[in-house]
Amino acid sequence: MDRLYGIADWYDAESLLTHDERLVLGRLREFLETTAKPLVGDYWERGEFPYEIAQPLIDLDIMEPAELTQEGPARGIYQGFRIFELARTDASLATFYTAQAGLFRTAIRVGASEEQKKEWMPKVIDFSLRGVFSLTEPEHGSDIAGGLATTARREPGTDTWVLDGEKRWIGGAFTADVLAVFARDVEDGQVKGFLVPREAPGVTLEKIHRKTALRMMQNAHITLDGVRVTEADRLHNVNSFKDVAAMLRAMRSDVAWIATGIQAGAFEAALRYVREREQFGRQLGSFQLVQEKLARMLGNLTASLSLVVRLTEQQEKGIYRDQDSALAKMQTSLLMRETVALAREVVGGNGITLDTDVARFHADAEAVYSYEGTHEINALIIGRALTGHGAFTK
Ligand SMILES: Cc1cc2nc3c(=O)[nH]c(=O)nc-3n(C[C@H](O)[C@H](O)[C@H](O)COP(=O)(O)OP(=O)(O)OC[C@H]3O[C@@H](n4cnc5c(N)ncnc54)[C@H](O)[C@@H]3O)c2cc1C
């Protein structure tokens, strides 16, 4: 069987995958190349999502594929490469899929009681219960832990909660059945989680327009006005922000895989271009200065892939620390920013059109750089682990 990733996987991280895992990823590759890729440029320009490929993508059965799950859940390394493969084609597609397979699934895995998980998890995996992760607010992004202002009020003597507040940037909300909403209990001041039906009375969704990154991905500004949720739809294992932090820890490693996949897509597109385009009667790829940029892109990509593979191996052993996924998210995103800029640069003027792919990766990288913890916040998480001093507010 040919290698899936070739040059973009310089140190052959793919050899960590089993034959069957590579077959599933090959199935995903085929779909992305033939069905998704031809659409993404036009949809990106229009600022719309190609919903016609959402169901076929779900039907590929790549979250917990039957052939990989006879003896338990799919392995972390497979899940990482699945994200890599999606992001290598398009960052919005990767974000769309990860909203369910990463964010929402993690909210249930960490936040639901065993009984709730038994009911919800199979539906999360087959997408019959679609959800999103609604944490960020218009006035609270990086300081959400202490600042979270959406309120939850238990009606005395009933099993009903009433939610009020606003959420911002929530990816995939327009096609979700439920929104996993995090709100502060006015009684004890602690953050709790709720599954709110998207169509519940009092829920309003507005599309965020005029984005210059991840234009295909639809993000919502959500208003919750006296929204009623039952105790049965509260995430029973979310009792403080610490439980939300445990979710973020797991989700940040997914974003590090996205940042790595974007680099692969940009690098491959740039390499293709410089092998074809001629100036001064020679291929662009034959010039020393262009080769130096190719080498730097490959170095960044290889460092990122090595980082996420090792992080995933640690997590598979059950080692989850805030500073580990923060380091991977921070570093792969930094390297991504340079890689996509170099890719855009070597493609010249055509590098700012959607025809050569590098422009899309270049623009989309900015959103990935900022979501799931900005550079500064991840650096501060690492700094706290190194020094014992939390410097978030100093
Ligand atoms: C495309 C996209 C999709 C998203 N999807 C979701 C989603 O599905 N669900 C969800 O809940 N959220 C989502 N988010 C929100 C995302 O997680 C936040 O944007 C992110 O946490 C940063 O918050 P902010 O944008 O409010 O920036 P701010 O917190 O306002 O930060 C602005 C700048 O100030 C810096 N800064 C802030 N505090 C400090 C400090 N103490 N020290 C030094 N610098 C600091 C930041 O690093 C940043 O550079 C998404 C965002 C985007 C752009």
Residue 350 pLDDT greater than 80, yes or no = yes
Give the pair of three-digit tokens for residue 144. Answer: 């959400």
Q: Does residue 150 have its Cβ closer than 6 Å to ligand 1?
A: no
Indicate the top mutation candidate among 179, 255, 370, 394 to test ligand 1's pocket, ranked by most ligand atoms within 8 A of CB.
370
In a domain, 394, yes or no: no
pLDDT 10s digits, 21-48 = 999 999 999 999 999 999 999 999 999 9
Q: How much of the chain exceeds pLDDT 70, in percent?
A: 100
Q: Which pLDDT score, from 0 to 100, does residue 23 have?
A: 96
- Residue 84: predicted pLDDT: 98
pLDDT bucket at 250, cuts 50 / 70 / 90: confident
Ligand 1 geometric centre to CA of 375 (Å): 9
Q: Is the CB of 214 under 6 A from ligand 1?
A: yes
**Mean of the per-residue pLDDT values of the chain:** 97
Write the CB contacts of 281 (distance below 8 Å, at least 6 apart in sequence).
none
d(CA 24, CA 78): 9
CA distance 230 to 158: 9
- Predicted pLDDT of residue 2: 82
Q: Where a domain ends, among 187, 213, 239?
A: 239
Average pLDDT over residues 329-335: 98
Q: What pLDDT does residue 43 have?
A: 98
Instruction: Say if residue 298 is in the same domain as residue 258.
Output: yes
Residue 149 sits in the same domain as residue 185: yes
Q: Using CA positions, which residue lies closest to atom 35 of ligand 1?
A: 376
CA distance 263 to 92: 14
Instruction: Decide if 197 contacts 178 (C-beta within 8 A).
Output: yes
- Cα dihedral 382→385→389→390 (10° resolution): 50
CA 378, CA 325: separation in Å to the nearest integer?
9
Q: Of 222, 239, 256, which closes a domain?
A: 239
Same domain, 184 and 260: no
Rounded to the nearest angstrom, the distance between the alpha carbon of 378 and the centre of ligand 1 is 11
Report pLDDT digits (tens) over 179-226. Answer: 999 999 999 999 999 999 999 999 999 999 999 999 999 999 999 999
What confidence category does residue 1 fall into, taking pLDDT thresholds of 50, 70 and 90?
Answer: confident
3-state SS class at 70:
coil
Give mean pLDDT, residues 323-345.
Answer: 98
Whichever domain contains 167, its CATH number is: 2.40.110.10
Same domain, 61 and 164: no
Q: Is 392 in the pocket of ligand 1 (CB under 6 A)?
A: yes
Provide the token pair at 296. 């730097």
Q: Which of 105, 136, 137 to mutate to test the pocket of ligand 1 (most atoms within 8 A of CB)?
A: 136
Tell me: do 212 and 118 sit in the same domain: no
For residue 224, tell me if it sits in a domain. yes
Residue 295 pLDDT greater than 80, yes or no: yes
Question: Residue 139 C-alpha to ligand 1 middle, in angstroms?
Answer: 10
Q: What is the CATH number of the domain that holds 348?
A: 1.20.140.10
Residues 43-69 have a mean pLDDT of: 96
Measured distance CA(266)–CA(238) in Å, rounded = 39
- Indicate which residue's Cα is closest to atom 44 of ligand 1: 376
The residue-averaged pLDDT of 290-304 equals 98
Q: Mean pLDDT across the stretch 232-250?
A: 96
**Atom 22 of ligand 1, residue of closest alpha carbon:** 141
**pLDDT-derived band at 110, boundaries 50, 70, 90:** very high
Q: How far is CA 216 from the centre of its chain?
A: 14
pLDDT > 90 fraction of the chain, expressed in percent and rounded: 98
Strand partners, 181: 134, 194
Which of 91, 125, 159 lies at the terminal end of a domain, its last residue? 125
| Claim to verify: residue 23 and residue 120 sit in the same structural domain | yes
Chain segment 124-172, per-residue pLDDT in tens: 999 999 999 999 999 999 999 999 999 999 999 999 999 999 999 999 9
135 lines ligand 1 (CB under 6 A): yes
Task: Please give the residue range of the domain that contains residue 24.
Answer: 6-125
- Please check whether residue 393 lies inside any domain of the structure: no
Other beta carbons within 10 angstroms of residue 291's beta carbon come to: 14
Confirm whether 234 is domain-assigned.
yes
CA distances from 273 to 116, 266, 296, 346 (A): 51, 11, 16, 8
The span from the CA of 26 to the CA of 219, in Å, is 30
Any domain includes 248: yes
Q: Do 263 and 356 share a domain, yes or no?
A: yes
Question: Could you give the 3-state DSSP secondary structure of residue 238?
Answer: coil
Total domains, the chain: 3
Pocket test for ligand 1, best of 222, 241, 255, 371 (most atoms within 8 A of CB): 371
How do residues 90-108 score in pLDDT, each as one tens digit?
999 999 999 999 999 999 9
Is there a contact between 147 and 120 (Cβ–Cβ < 8 Å)? no
| The residue count for the chain | 394
Tell me which residue has its CA closest to atom 24 in ligand 1: 141
pTM of the model: 0.97
- Is the minimum distance from the CB of 370 to ligand 1 under 6 angstroms? yes
User: Which whole number is the average pLDDT over 75-86?
Assistant: 98
Ligand 1 probe mutation, 100, 137, 169, 377, most atoms within 8 A of CB:
169
Q: Could you tell me if 110 and 137 lie in one domain?
A: no
